[in-house]
Amino acid sequence: MPRLQVKCCKPIAHACDFTVSPTYNCHDILQSITIQCLEALQFLHGLGLIHCDLKPENILVKSYSRCEVKVIDLGSSCFETDHLCSYVQSRSYRAPEVILGLSYDKKIDIWSLGCILAELCTGNVLFQNDSSATLLARVIGIIGPIDQGMLAKGHDTYKYFTKNHMLYERNQMSLCYINVATLACALSDAMPSWKRSIP
């Protein structure tokens, strides 16, 4: 009877972790990873599935030499026609519509992939946070204001925004308003100059 062989795969951490040959540079590797992940998502989305938990730990390196990856862990996935759960996606890769309690679709997987690719490119989590409120603050600080229509329709908007659309975080004792403009300046100052120039 043949023995079952299990191949060891490692989670992807940084595009330049691949063995770089003279013909491969980080841009080529990142492009290859992006294409493979988009093809995997296209297949899932074609079946009407949303992955719902795309993160670096769920993209495994199949082959360093051939720059092959695979998307794994469909444990949180659901069909677009299912009653959609409000608690999906690992927080750093969670789309704003999920946080705000809006209905969502396969676009949340694309949001997560974008966060992952930025992380692979820079080596840092794009939206570092310690709560959903600080995640929203980082999104606003880096990308810009959240669409007013999304804020108006979100079932959970009140948990993070005042009626005047000021972002806040509630702690055990009081409300703490998050100054997004200050956070954006701090993010920009903390970011190395070469990363600021990335389009």
Domain ranges of the chain: 8-126, 131-193
Task: Examine the pLDDT at 40 and tell me if it is beyond 70.
Answer: yes
Q: Which pLDDT value is given to residue 114?
A: 97
Higher pLDDT, 196 or 79: 79
Task: Examine the pLDDT at 22 and tell me if it is beyond 70.
Answer: no
Residue 183's CB is within 10 A of a number of other CB atoms, namely: 17
CA dist 22 and 9 (Å) reads 24
State whether residue 8 is helix, strand or coil.
Answer: coil
For residue range 155-192, list pLDDT tens digits in order. Answer: 999 999 999 889 988 765 665 666 665 665 565 555 55
Q: Which residue has the tokens 């959903």?
A: 132
Q: Which pLDDT value is given to residue 160?
A: 94
Overall CATH class of domain 8-126? mainly alpha
Q: Which pLDDT value is given to residue 190?
A: 56
The answer to whether the CB of 59 falls within 8 A of the CB of 112 is: no
Q: Is 105 a catalytic residue?
A: no
Residue 9's CB is within 10 A of a number of other CB atoms, namely: 15
What number of CA atoms fall less than 13 Å from residue 136's CA on the CB side?
A: 26
Instruction: Enter the pTM of the model.
Output: 0.81
For residue range 64-116, list pLDDT tens digits in order. Answer: 888 899 999 999 999 999 877 888 999 999 999 999 999 999 999 999 999 99
For residue range 114-154, list pLDDT tens digits in order. Answer: 999 999 988 899 999 999 999 999 999 999 999 999 999 99
Given the residues 53, 105, 109, 130, the one annotated as active site: 53
